[in-house]
Amino acid sequence: MTAQILDGKALAQKIQQELKARIQTLEPQKGRPPGLAVLMVGDNPASAAYVRNKERACERVGIASFGKHFPTETTQEELEQAIHACNQDECIDGILVQLPLPQHLDAVTLLQQIHPDKDADGLHPTNLGRLVRGEPGLRSCTPAGVMRLLEEYEIDVVGKQAVIIGRSILVGKPLALMLLAANATVTIAHSKTQNLTEVVRNADIVVAATGKPRFINAEAIKPGAVVVDVGINRVEDETGKARLVGDVDFDSVANVAGFLTPVPGGVGPMTVAMLLHNTVLSYSQTLC
Protein backbone atom coordinates (compact mmCIF):
# COMPACT_ATOMS: atom_id res chain seq x y z
CA MET A 1 0.00 0.00 0.00
CA THR A 2 1.36 3.42 -0.97
CA ALA A 3 -1.43 5.70 0.27
CA GLN A 4 -1.12 7.58 3.56
CA ILE A 5 -4.25 6.99 5.64
CA LEU A 6 -6.28 10.06 6.61
CA ASP A 7 -7.23 9.01 10.13
CA GLY A 8 -10.57 10.68 10.88
CA LYS A 9 -11.00 8.78 14.12
CA ALA A 10 -7.79 10.16 15.62
CA LEU A 11 -8.54 13.70 14.45
CA ALA A 12 -12.09 13.51 15.82
CA GLN A 13 -10.68 12.57 19.23
CA LYS A 14 -8.31 15.54 19.05
CA ILE A 15 -11.19 17.89 18.19
CA GLN A 16 -13.26 16.49 21.04
CA GLN A 17 -10.44 17.23 23.49
CA GLU A 18 -10.24 20.80 22.18
CA LEU A 19 -14.01 21.22 22.54
CA LYS A 20 -13.92 19.80 26.08
CA ALA A 21 -11.32 22.38 27.06
CA ARG A 22 -13.34 25.16 25.41
CA ILE A 23 -16.48 24.14 27.31
CA GLN A 24 -14.59 24.04 30.60
CA THR A 25 -13.53 27.64 29.97
CA LEU A 26 -16.97 28.89 28.97
CA GLU A 27 -19.23 27.01 31.38
CA PRO A 28 -18.33 29.03 34.52
CA GLN A 29 -19.18 32.23 32.61
CA LYS A 30 -22.48 30.95 31.26
CA GLY A 31 -23.63 28.94 34.24
CA ARG A 32 -24.66 25.95 32.16
CA PRO A 33 -23.17 23.44 29.72
CA PRO A 34 -23.94 23.55 25.98
CA GLY A 35 -27.01 21.54 24.97
CA LEU A 36 -27.80 19.44 21.89
CA ALA A 37 -31.30 18.16 21.13
CA VAL A 38 -31.48 15.13 18.82
CA LEU A 39 -35.00 14.36 17.58
CA MET A 40 -35.52 10.82 16.33
CA VAL A 41 -38.72 9.33 14.94
CA GLY A 42 -39.41 5.60 14.68
CA ASP A 43 -37.27 2.53 15.30
CA ASN A 44 -34.70 2.52 12.50
CA PRO A 45 -31.81 0.45 14.01
CA ALA A 46 -29.13 2.40 12.10
CA SER A 47 -30.58 5.73 13.26
CA ALA A 48 -30.74 4.49 16.85
CA ALA A 49 -27.05 3.50 16.66
CA TYR A 50 -26.11 6.89 15.22
CA VAL A 51 -28.02 8.69 17.97
CA ARG A 52 -26.33 6.63 20.70
CA ASN A 53 -22.96 7.43 19.15
CA LYS A 54 -23.75 11.16 19.18
CA GLU A 55 -24.98 11.07 22.77
CA ARG A 56 -21.81 9.30 23.92
CA ALA A 57 -19.71 11.89 22.10
CA CYS A 58 -21.65 14.69 23.81
CA GLU A 59 -21.01 13.11 27.18
CA ARG A 60 -17.25 12.91 26.50
CA VAL A 61 -16.91 16.63 25.81
CA GLY A 62 -19.43 17.96 28.35
CA ILE A 63 -22.44 18.72 26.13
CA ALA A 64 -25.85 18.05 27.68
CA SER A 65 -27.99 15.76 25.51
CA PHE A 66 -31.69 16.50 25.14
CA GLY A 67 -32.66 13.39 23.19
CA LYS A 68 -36.29 13.10 22.14
CA HIS A 69 -37.54 9.81 20.68
CA PHE A 70 -40.94 9.90 18.97
CA PRO A 71 -43.08 6.95 17.81
CA THR A 72 -43.31 6.23 14.08
CA GLU A 73 -46.88 7.57 13.85
CA THR A 74 -45.89 11.04 15.14
CA THR A 75 -47.47 13.77 12.99
CA GLN A 76 -45.75 16.60 11.15
CA GLU A 77 -47.44 19.12 13.43
CA GLU A 78 -46.26 17.36 16.60
CA LEU A 79 -42.66 17.37 15.39
CA GLU A 80 -42.85 21.02 14.35
CA GLN A 81 -44.12 21.87 17.83
CA ALA A 82 -41.21 19.95 19.37
CA ILE A 83 -38.73 21.86 17.19
CA HIS A 84 -40.31 25.21 18.12
CA ALA A 85 -40.02 24.27 21.82
CA CYS A 86 -36.32 23.54 21.31
CA ASN A 87 -35.90 26.87 19.50
CA GLN A 88 -37.28 28.64 22.58
CA ASP A 89 -35.31 26.59 25.14
CA GLU A 90 -32.31 28.63 26.30
CA CYS A 91 -30.52 25.47 27.46
CA ILE A 92 -30.45 24.07 23.90
CA ASP A 93 -27.80 25.42 21.51
CA GLY A 94 -28.05 22.84 18.74
CA ILE A 95 -30.97 20.94 17.21
CA LEU A 96 -30.64 17.89 14.99
CA VAL A 97 -33.44 15.94 13.31
CA GLN A 98 -32.12 12.41 12.73
CA LEU A 99 -32.64 11.33 9.13
CA PRO A 100 -34.16 9.39 7.47
CA LEU A 101 -37.69 10.07 8.70
CA PRO A 102 -40.79 7.92 8.12
CA GLN A 103 -42.28 8.50 4.67
CA HIS A 104 -45.34 10.44 5.89
CA LEU A 105 -43.12 13.23 7.25
CA ASP A 106 -41.70 16.12 5.20
CA ALA A 107 -38.04 16.35 6.22
CA VAL A 108 -37.33 19.54 4.23
CA THR A 109 -40.13 21.47 5.92
CA LEU A 110 -39.07 20.21 9.35
CA LEU A 111 -35.46 21.24 8.86
CA GLN A 112 -36.64 24.71 7.88
CA GLN A 113 -38.38 25.04 11.26
CA ILE A 114 -35.04 24.89 13.11
CA HIS A 115 -33.69 28.32 14.06
CA PRO A 116 -30.64 28.93 11.81
CA ASP A 117 -28.45 29.71 14.83
CA LYS A 118 -29.34 26.33 16.38
CA ASP A 119 -28.96 24.38 13.14
CA ALA A 120 -26.34 21.88 14.35
CA ASP A 121 -26.39 20.00 11.03
CA GLY A 122 -25.80 23.17 8.98
CA LEU A 123 -28.63 22.31 6.56
CA HIS A 124 -31.01 25.26 7.04
CA PRO A 125 -31.45 27.35 3.85
CA THR A 126 -30.13 30.39 5.72
CA ASN A 127 -26.88 28.62 6.58
CA LEU A 128 -26.53 27.22 3.07
CA GLY A 129 -27.07 30.76 1.78
CA ARG A 130 -24.34 32.03 4.11
CA LEU A 131 -22.04 29.37 2.68
CA VAL A 132 -22.84 30.45 -0.89
CA ARG A 133 -22.10 34.08 0.00
CA GLY A 134 -18.95 33.24 1.94
CA GLU A 135 -20.41 34.57 5.20
CA PRO A 136 -19.84 33.08 8.68
CA GLY A 137 -22.38 30.48 9.73
CA LEU A 138 -22.92 26.88 10.77
CA ARG A 139 -21.56 24.54 8.13
CA SER A 140 -22.88 21.17 7.00
CA CYS A 141 -21.11 18.60 9.16
CA THR A 142 -19.79 16.03 6.68
CA PRO A 143 -18.34 18.54 4.18
CA ALA A 144 -16.86 20.57 7.04
CA GLY A 145 -15.32 17.37 8.40
CA VAL A 146 -13.74 16.62 5.02
CA MET A 147 -12.23 20.11 4.86
CA ARG A 148 -10.90 19.83 8.41
CA LEU A 149 -9.32 16.47 7.57
CA LEU A 150 -7.55 17.94 4.53
CA GLU A 151 -6.33 20.84 6.66
CA GLU A 152 -5.00 18.56 9.41
CA TYR A 153 -2.86 16.64 6.93
CA GLU A 154 -1.67 19.90 5.31
CA ILE A 155 -3.12 18.96 1.94
CA ASP A 156 -3.02 22.12 -0.17
CA VAL A 157 -6.13 22.42 -2.34
CA VAL A 158 -5.27 25.78 -3.96
CA GLY A 159 -5.46 25.46 -7.73
CA LYS A 160 -6.00 21.69 -7.54
CA GLN A 161 -8.54 19.82 -9.66
CA ALA A 162 -11.18 18.41 -7.31
CA VAL A 163 -13.91 16.03 -8.47
CA ILE A 164 -16.87 15.28 -6.21
CA ILE A 165 -18.93 12.27 -7.25
CA GLY A 166 -22.38 12.99 -5.87
CA ARG A 167 -24.52 16.14 -5.89
CA SER A 168 -26.60 15.84 -2.71
CA ILE A 169 -27.44 18.82 -0.54
CA LEU A 170 -25.89 16.88 2.38
CA VAL A 171 -22.42 16.46 0.89
CA GLY A 172 -21.78 17.19 -2.78
CA LYS A 173 -23.10 20.71 -3.18
CA PRO A 174 -21.88 22.23 0.11
CA LEU A 175 -18.48 20.55 -0.21
CA ALA A 176 -18.10 21.98 -3.73
CA LEU A 177 -18.70 25.47 -2.32
CA MET A 178 -16.18 24.90 0.50
CA LEU A 179 -13.53 23.70 -1.92
CA LEU A 180 -14.22 26.66 -4.22
CA ALA A 181 -13.81 29.00 -1.25
CA ALA A 182 -10.43 27.34 -0.64
CA ASN A 183 -9.47 28.10 -4.28
CA ALA A 184 -9.73 24.60 -5.71
CA THR A 185 -11.14 24.05 -9.19
CA VAL A 186 -14.23 21.92 -8.67
CA THR A 187 -16.20 19.51 -10.83
CA ILE A 188 -19.36 17.83 -9.56
CA ALA A 189 -19.90 14.47 -11.24
CA HIS A 190 -23.00 12.31 -10.89
CA SER A 191 -24.94 9.38 -12.35
CA LYS A 192 -25.49 11.16 -15.67
CA THR A 193 -21.86 12.23 -16.15
CA GLN A 194 -20.40 10.92 -19.39
CA ASN A 195 -16.97 9.26 -19.35
CA LEU A 196 -16.95 9.31 -15.57
CA THR A 197 -13.69 7.37 -15.22
CA GLU A 198 -11.87 9.91 -17.39
CA VAL A 199 -13.33 12.82 -15.45
CA VAL A 200 -12.28 11.32 -12.12
CA ARG A 201 -8.83 10.28 -13.36
CA ASN A 202 -7.98 13.94 -14.06
CA ALA A 203 -8.57 14.88 -10.42
CA ASP A 204 -5.94 15.70 -7.83
CA ILE A 205 -8.64 15.33 -5.16
CA VAL A 206 -11.48 12.81 -5.44
CA VAL A 207 -14.46 12.75 -3.09
CA ALA A 208 -16.77 9.75 -3.48
CA ALA A 209 -20.31 10.23 -2.19
CA THR A 210 -22.38 7.95 -4.40
CA GLY A 211 -23.92 5.47 -1.95
CA LYS A 212 -22.65 2.60 -4.14
CA PRO A 213 -20.26 0.15 -2.49
CA ARG A 214 -16.75 0.03 -3.99
CA PHE A 215 -17.93 2.10 -6.96
CA ILE A 216 -14.56 3.81 -7.52
CA ASN A 217 -11.59 1.57 -8.26
CA ALA A 218 -7.90 2.09 -8.99
CA GLU A 219 -8.51 2.52 -12.72
CA ALA A 220 -10.27 5.85 -12.04
CA ILE A 221 -7.58 7.31 -9.77
CA LYS A 222 -4.60 9.42 -10.83
CA PRO A 223 -1.41 8.18 -9.14
CA GLY A 224 -0.79 10.22 -6.00
CA ALA A 225 -4.32 11.67 -5.82
CA VAL A 226 -6.10 12.44 -2.56
CA VAL A 227 -9.15 10.16 -2.23
CA VAL A 228 -11.86 10.90 0.34
CA ASP A 229 -14.49 8.19 0.76
CA VAL A 230 -17.76 9.54 2.21
CA GLY A 231 -19.73 6.34 1.59
CA ILE A 232 -20.91 3.97 4.30
CA ASN A 233 -22.44 0.79 2.88
CA ARG A 234 -23.34 -2.39 4.70
CA VAL A 235 -22.48 -5.47 2.61
CA GLU A 236 -22.43 -9.21 3.29
CA ASP A 237 -19.55 -11.52 2.43
CA GLU A 238 -19.85 -15.11 1.18
CA THR A 239 -20.52 -16.36 4.71
CA GLY A 240 -23.37 -13.88 5.24
CA LYS A 241 -21.36 -11.76 7.67
CA ALA A 242 -22.08 -8.03 7.31
CA ARG A 243 -19.44 -5.32 7.32
CA LEU A 244 -19.10 -1.68 6.37
CA VAL A 245 -17.39 -0.60 3.15
CA GLY A 246 -17.11 2.71 1.38
CA ASP A 247 -17.84 3.94 -2.13
CA VAL A 248 -14.15 3.35 -2.94
CA ASP A 249 -12.54 -0.05 -3.48
CA PHE A 250 -10.04 0.51 -0.69
CA ASP A 251 -7.65 -2.37 -1.44
CA SER A 252 -7.02 -1.43 -5.07
CA VAL A 253 -7.08 2.35 -4.64
CA ALA A 254 -4.64 2.20 -1.69
CA ASN A 255 -1.95 1.09 -4.15
CA VAL A 256 -2.42 4.16 -6.35
CA ALA A 257 -3.58 7.10 -4.22
CA GLY A 258 -1.32 9.40 -2.24
CA PHE A 259 -3.84 9.85 0.58
CA LEU A 260 -6.94 7.80 1.36
CA THR A 261 -9.65 7.73 4.03
CA PRO A 262 -10.67 4.35 5.47
CA VAL A 263 -14.22 3.13 6.06
CA PRO A 264 -14.96 2.99 8.90
CA GLY A 265 -12.68 5.44 10.70
CA GLY A 266 -12.40 8.18 8.10
CA VAL A 267 -15.12 10.71 7.38
CA GLY A 268 -17.74 9.21 9.74
CA PRO A 269 -16.09 10.26 13.03
CA MET A 270 -15.41 13.70 11.55
CA THR A 271 -19.12 14.23 10.87
CA VAL A 272 -19.90 13.70 14.57
CA ALA A 273 -16.97 15.91 15.61
CA MET A 274 -18.25 18.79 13.46
CA LEU A 275 -21.75 18.35 14.90
CA LEU A 276 -20.25 18.91 18.34
CA HIS A 277 -18.20 21.81 16.98
CA ASN A 278 -21.33 23.50 15.62
CA THR A 279 -23.11 23.07 18.96
CA VAL A 280 -20.22 24.60 20.89
CA LEU A 281 -19.94 27.42 18.35
CA SER A 282 -23.63 28.29 18.86
CA TYR A 283 -23.15 28.02 22.62
CA SER A 284 -20.18 30.38 22.57
CA GLN A 285 -22.22 33.02 20.73
CA THR A 286 -25.29 33.02 22.96
CA LEU A 287 -25.79 35.68 25.61
CA CYS A 288 -26.84 33.27 28.37
**pLDDT computed for residue 8 by the predictor:** 98
Determine whether the annotation assigns residue 168 to a binding site.
yes
- Contact between 12 and 272 under an 8 Å Cβ cutoff? The reply is yes
**pLDDT computed for residue 288 by the predictor:** 57
**pLDDT computed for residue 286 by the predictor:** 81
* Superfamily of domain 31-116, CATH level 4: Leucine Dehydrogenase, chain A, domain 1 (3.40.50.10860)
In order along its 288 residues, the chain shows pLDDT tens digits of 689 999 999 999 999 999 999 999 999 999 999 999 999 999 988 888 889 999 999 999 999 999 899 999 999 999 999 999 999 999 999 999 999 999 999 999 999 999 999 999 999 999 999 999 999 999 999 999 999 999 999 999 999 999 999 999 999 999 999 999 999 999 999 989 999 999 999 999 999 999 999 999 999 999 999 999 999 988 888 888 888 899 999 999 999 999 999 999 999 999 999 999 999 999 999 865
Q: Indicate if 229 belongs to the active site.
A: no
Taking alpha carbons only, the member of 261, 268, 250, 189 closest to residue 228 is: 261
Task: Find the catalytic residue in 7, 93, 121, 229.
Answer: 121
All residues at 6 or more sequence positions from 73 whose CB lies less than 8 Å from its CB, including other chains: none
Determine whether the annotation assigns residue 167 to a binding site.
yes
**pLDDT computed for residue 112 by the predictor:** 96
- pTM for this predicted structure: 0.95
User: Do 31-116 and 141-268 come out as alike in CATH topology?
Assistant: yes
All residues at 6 or more sequence positions from 92 whose CB lies less than 8 Å from its CB, including other chains: 35, 36, 37, 66, 86, 118
DSSP secondary structure of 192-231: T-TTHHHHHHT-SEEEE--S-TT-B-GGGS-TT-EEEE--
Distance CA 99, CA 102 (A): 9
CATH of domain 141-268: 3.40.50.720
Rounded to whole angstroms, what are the CA distances from 247 to 71, 213, 214, 259?
32, 5, 4, 15
Determine whether the annotation assigns residue 166 to a binding site.
yes
Domain ranges of the chain: 31-116, 141-268
**pLDDT computed for residue 47 by the predictor:** 87
**pLDDT computed for residue 240 by the predictor:** 83
Q: Indicate if 4 belongs to the active site.
A: no
State the greatest distance between any 2 C-alpha atoms of the chain, in Å, as a whole number.
Answer: 57
- Contact between 244 and 232 under an 8 Å Cβ cutoff? The reply is yes
**pLDDT computed for residue 194 by the predictor:** 97
Q: Indicate if 121 belongs to the active site.
A: yes
Task: Find the catalytic residue in 7, 93, 98, 118.
Answer: 98
**pLDDT computed for residue 191 by the predictor:** 87
